[in-house]
Structure 1
């Protein structure tokens, strides 16, 4: 018997499906490609990391509805801003 999905699991699946259906910056795109295709970000957050080769610089660009995360100068992930998520105000360190 397969266990029933939890509500959180369903929300995550829905979010992933929503992200896949949207035109968002893709993994591997350069900063220049993202800016050319999606325009300038509404803000560029302070860089994080960069203390060693194992901790590369992470840059974050905010757009309406999503945040693009770059490792050095290439996209590693794009995350939708959601009311229930913890990414509505990434400037605040937790």
Structure 2
């Protein structure tokens, strides 16, 4: 009996608590700015070097102590950075430009 009363009381407390949520605002149209020529995923370092030249800065590699933690290297060029896993491009990014949005049709409008 005491458990039933305690459970009902707890349920009433939860029902009275305010509920809040964050709202994610998406850009009206996805950015299609392709003015920056970026290396493609999977390209090797030698091909990036041949096409874009010597980077402004080569950061020291991190990781590489095991297959689960491959060696990651970053090269900074004027206007973009290239990230390598071992010898292959895994990503190229433009600072201060948001990443492209995918599967936005699966997001609910909320409300």
Q: Runs (4+) of structure 1 moved beyond 2 Å?
A: none
Decide which structure has greater strand share: 1
State the TM-score, normalizing by the size of structure 2.
Answer: 0.59
Q: How does 1:1-94 map to 2 (within 5 A)?
A: 6=25, 9-10=26-27, 13-14=30-31, 17-18=32-33, 20-82=34-96
> How many residues matched?
75
Unaligned runs of 5+ in 1: 85-94
Partners in 2 of 1:73 and 1:59 — Cα distance?
Answer: 9
Unaligned runs of 5+ in 2: 1-22, 99-111
- Aligned match of 2:15: none
The answer to which structure, 1 or 2, has the higher relative contact order (CA under 8 A, 6+ apart) is 1
Partners in 1 of 2:35 and 2:27 — Cα distance?
Answer: 17
3-state SS, counterpart of residue 46 of structure 1: coil
Change (3 A) 1:76 1:83: closer
For the aligned residues, what is the CA RMSD? Answer: 2.5
State the TM-score, normalizing by the size of structure 1.
Answer: 0.69
- Computing the radius of gyration from Cα coordinates, the structure with the larger value is 2
